[in-house]
Structure formats: C-alpha cells, structure tokens
Chain A
Amino acid sequence: MSAASAAAASGVQVQDLSASYGSAAIALREVTFTATGGQAVAVLGPNGGGKTTLFRALLGELEATTGSVTVHGTIAYVPQTERSRLDFPVSALDVALMGAYGRTPWFRRITAGDRAAARAALERVDLADRAGTRFGALSGGQRQRVLIARALVQDAHVLLLDEPFAGVDRTSEEAIMGILAGLRAEGRVLLIATHDVEQARGWDRVLCLAGAQIAYGPPAETLTNAVLEGTYGEEIVMLDCGHRAVAIQHHSH
C-alpha cells in the first residue's frame, strides 16, 4: 500500500458508542472520537476500563448497543505477544503469513505474492534474517515486531495495538517506536492501548477510558491531573509537583 493511498483511505469515526458483552452490563459508554490518517491515538485507562471492548467494537466482533463505529480502510489487531502460544511450532514467517489468511479461501494456497509481502514486512521490521526462527524463540520485542509485520501483510490502514511495549526492553521499544513513526508517516491510523501516561504524551491524541470516555484530545489538553484522576482514580501517582504521572496497574496476565 502506498503512503498516499493509506492517507486517503484511513480513518476511524466513533459516535456515542456504548457496548456490552451479551446481556451483561454495559462495558463501555458514551465514546465519541475521530482519528484521521497519520494520527496516533493513545488509548489510556485502567484494566477493565474498556480498551479491549473498544478494540473489539472497532474490529466488528462486538456489536454497539448504541451509537456507531465507522472504519475507513482495512483494520488489523496487533495483540500482546504474551498471549500467543510460544510452544507452537510456527516461524516468524509463518506468523507474518497469517496476515494473508483473511483473503485466502480455504481451497487456495497462500500465493507467491503474499509470501513476498510477508518477507517484505519482516524486512521492514528489521527481522528478515529471523524469518525461519521459531516465534517462541524470539525476544519479546522481536515477537511484537513480527505481529506488526503480520498487520502489514493484512495491508491494514488502521492498526489497533494492544500494549505493544509491555514486556519489551528499551532497545526493542525504540525499534518499535521507529516502526510506528514510519506507519504514521504513511498515513495509517494507530490506536495504541497503553498504561504509560508519559509515553501517551508523545502521540497525537489521547483517549482516556474508565468504563466511559473521560476525555479525548491533544495530550497537552487531555493529560491533566483532573482527567488522570478521573481515569485512574486511586491508581494514579503524581510526581514532580503534578508534572509527571504514573499509573499503578494490577496485571491479571
């Protein structure tokens, strides 16, 4: 996909979205935001705050109870690498090729073009030399890059990244930041679920969720003490006289 076509095609519009799991109580309420091509949006919030619910609604896996979701362009989900089966014998190339599954009917083989696209995607995330390596044998950061390569094979205009920096060392984090910067420059939309308040200041927009939308906008306007306290409640610690904030998270995984 060329940078120009990505910029022209991509975008996410969410209007008054509420969503729930079956007959259970509403998991996410009153979310309204727009992200256009080239924007990176940090989705900030505590565990259970609705980040996963929002992603599932964007992916079409969860129907909106009220409101609407419009996605312009192909959408891909980049999960947390810890959730993948590391004992399953698939190579980095095999995982990247999964990005072609959705467009390949069961009775057809993966095409040579898709194989070439998978190799190109691995090269783009600087893992061409690890194509044949077992996915479980890669480092956390390398696995995360393979999963981003898979989204590239999906030809995604909109990427939903679920805590892409969790369990990743500093070097890999910088590598991933570089890749994401490149994707933004091509006009793709990135939605990045994160717990890192400081990192969220580096993205174009911040969406704060705590069962409902608390705030949406540029980081300077959004990441105020009042909004962070509204988002995290007791689980936020202010440092440097309120200039820095650290979210205390209790991971279930």
Chain B
Amino acid sequence: MEILRSGLLQRALLEVVILGATCGALGVWLLHLRHTYAAESLAHAMLPGLVIAALVGAPLLLGAAGGVLVAAALIALAARDTRVGPEIAVGVTVTTAFGLGAVLALAPDVPARLGELLFGDLLGTSTSDLVAACALGTCVGLALCAGHRSLTATVFDPVAAPSLGVRPGRVDLALLILLALAVVAAVQGLGNLLVLALIVAPAAAAIRLGRTVGAQITLAAGLGALAGLLGLVASAELDTAAGASVALAAIALWLIAALLAPGAPQATGGRRSLVEILVS
C-alpha cells in the first residue's frame, strides 16, 4: 500500500492516529459534560487569533489564547445588555469571530497556506507538528487520568460535587483548556472546522457502545485513531482531501455505532447545537 511506503503519508498517518486517539478520549468527557456547544464555539472563536498569529509569525497557541480571550470579553460585554442576553451574545460573537477569521484566512493577498487553518493539510505535517501532537496526547492522557475522579463526580452531579471535595468550575475550566490545546495542535492537520469531527464523532459512538466510562474512553481513542487511519487511506486511494476524508470516516464510524446500538443511552439534555443534534 502506498501509504506505508511514502514518508509523507507515514508522517501524516502517525499525526492523525495520535490526534484521533487524543481527541476521541477528550471528547467523551466533553460530551458527558454537555460541552459540545462550547467546543464548537471555542474552536470557531479562536480562528481570528490563529490567523493573525500565523500572519505575524507568532506561536499559534498565543493566537488561539488571544482569540478566545477577545471572544470571551465580547460575549461578556454583549451579554450585559439585557436586550441581548447570553445566548444571542455567544451566537453573534462566535459567528462574527469565525467570519472575521475566514475573511482573513482566505483573503487574496495572504499566503495560501493560511487557508489550511480552516480545513487543514495533513500531508504537510512537519516534525514539529508531530512533536506537538505527541505532547498534546501525553498532556491529555495524564490530565484525564489525574482528573478522572473529579470529572466523574462533576458529570454525575455538579451540585453535590463540592461536598465530595471536587470543584466543578475548575474541572470545566481545565477541560476547556485541554480542548483549546487540542484544537491548536490539530489545526494544522485537520483545520479549525474539521477537528470537531474527531472530537465529537468517535466519542459519540463510544458512548453508545461502552458500558463504563473507562470502556468509553478506550473505545473513543481507538475509534478516533481508526477514523484517522481509514480517512487517510481513503484519501490516498480516492485522491480526496485528507482532513475531510478523516472527518467523514469519523462520522461513518458513529453511524455504524448508531446502527449497532440504536437504543443505547446517550448523553442528553442541556444545551444543544447543530453538532449535538448530530450525536443525539
């Protein structure tokens, strides 16, 4: 198979398998905590920051953090107006940020590679991208192991969690920081838009199939890696866009899980977005 002989594809394969496994495991907790909408919003809100960082040659992580902070400040400001409210404030701010990021990234006089921030370029994976993915995987893995009990208590009953010595606000914040790191690490390979597929779809499939949280996390990591492998092989064989093929492979795995376990429990209720409707 060509994918095993080409150094370019080998690197892309390693990158997407690491990212798939990491995003899958992280996604299980994001879905259980009903943070899908937050994940979607966070990824979109950081786009202008990513693009500006890429334009001026600053670290992407710095740009992402700046983008999120500016979006958070704008949301807080808009939400203070009682005629607007928090729901509309999030919707308007995130859409504005994403639109602004897309305009900057796709403008004719900016370098062509900035468009990759939207849809990714797996085949352009560099050694530093691989190092970033490995660092992210290690960081997320350690954090999820260390925080397993806190996450469990927070999901089970956030109101009672403080009486068990757990602070749900800190747990939420830590998880959203991990999410931001994952989006930044994956943006080169999968793009700001498609990375959500690897965070949501394998986790949604695993939640349908796994009987314990541990099993769901293991399964989501495996399915994320598998989606990366299948998507990249399909991309090489069919000459399709790599990032989009990986995203479609992840959705296909979720569809198979939904068919295999149609009546299985699924994280429900709370805030819903387009992505969340997909997983329900």
Contact = CB atoms under 8 A, between A and B. Distances in A.
Contact of A83 (B157, B166, B212, B265): B157
Contacts of B153: 98, 101
A140 B138 CA distance: 41
A89 B156 CA distance: 9
Interface of B: 32, 146-147, 149-150, 152-153, 155-157, 159-160, 162-166, 210-213, 216, 265-268
A99 interface: yes
Contacts of B147: 106
B152 A90 contact: yes
Interface string A128-164: 0000000010000000000000000010000000000
Interface of A: 59, 61, 75-77, 79, 83-85, 87-91, 94-95, 98-99, 101-104, 106-107, 136, 154
A154 B166 CA distance: 14
Contacts of A101: 149-150, 153, 164-166
A76 B166 CA distance: 13
Given A89-B210, A106-B150, A107-B146, 18 more contacts: A59-B162, A77-B160, A79-B157, A79-B159, A83-B157, A83-B159, A83-B160, A84-B157, A85-B32, A87-B266, A87-B268, A89-B265, A90-B152, A91-B212, A94-B152, A95-B156, A99-B164, A106-B147
A83 to B, nearest CB: 6
A84 B212 contact: no
Contacts of A87: 265-268
B164 A102 contact: yes
Contacts of B159: 79, 83
Nearest to B148: A106
B35 to A, nearest CB: 14
Contacts of B150: 101, 106
Nearest to B34: A85
A28 B8 CA distance: 66
**Highest count of chain B CB atoms <10 Å: which of A61, A90, A98, A107:** A98
Q: Lowest 5 A-B CB distances belong to which pairs?
A: A102-B165, A77-B163, A79-B160, A87-B265, A84-B157
Given A76-B163, A79-B160, A89-B212, A136 B152 contact: no
Contact of B213 (A59, A75, A90, A95): A90
A215 B178 CA distance: 50
B139 to A, nearest CB: 15
Contacts of A76: 163
A166 to B, nearest CB: 15
B152 A98 contact: yes
B163 A88 contact: no
A85 B157 contact: yes
16 contacts: A59-B163, A61-B163, A79-B159, A83-B157, A85-B156, A85-B157, A87-B268, A89-B216, A90-B212, A98-B149, A101-B150, A101-B165, A103-B165, A106-B146, A106-B147, A136-B265
A89 B164 CA distance: 19
B155 A88 contact: yes
Nearest to B215: A89
B78 to A, nearest CB: 21
Contacts of B267: 87
A94 B166 CA distance: 16
